[in-house]
Amino acid sequence: MTRTSWQLAAVEDEVTDALLALSRVFIGLAARSIAQVDEEVTLPQFRTLVLLVSQGPQRVVDLAGELSVTSSTATRMCNRLVSKGLAARQVRPDDRRAAWITLTAPGRDLVGAVMSRRREAIADLVAGLTLIRPLAFAATLNALVEAAGDVPAAQWARLWDGSVAEPSLPSQK
């Protein structure tokens, strides 16, 4: 039996609404996890640190694009992260005009502590579920992660813990 286009649209709407509701839960969980580790780090600042883990050193302008904020907003955010010792500025010898933001050891430690708390909270939620096809469910979620331009948890964890070499500052071409 084939589904009509309106039935498929209704199913897609149901999935979209369920993911939207789940995103609200996860945002609350993320905010609580950050506050438990460092109540002075905001959610956007933490997102910046996560980008530095997953993508390596970034120019402020590139971070602004990833975060969908203006360059001046990204600069202020990076200034705060640098002043907290969670990030550092570096310049390339061949282009001193561009400031690159890198993650510091305390920044990496903060990301690790927050992610550990978040993982525990999510594991508690998952433990209360009855999943018929858990691997298929995980594959679907990983596909959504990749569609959003991010990396699945296993790859991200390798980037965070250093088992994959952190990308270095790109050289100017």
Could you read off the pLDDT of 61-77 as tens digits, one per residue?
Answer: 999 999 999 999 999 99
Whole-Å CA distances, 42 to 8, 25, 31, 147, 152? 39, 17, 8, 26, 23
CATH number at residue 26: 1.10.10.10
Q: Is residue 45 part of a domain?
A: yes
13-26 confidence digits (pLDDT tens)? 888 888 889 999 99
The whole-angstrom separation of Cα 150 and Cα 80 is 24
Where residue 12 falls among pLDDT bands split at 50, 70, 90? confident
Q: Residue 85's domain spans which residues?
A: 13-129
| Domains identified in the chain, total number | 1
Buried b (16+ CB within 10 A) or exposed e, 34-67: beebbeebeeebbbbbbbbbbbbbbbbebbbeee
Phi, psi of 95 (to 5 degrees): -155, 90
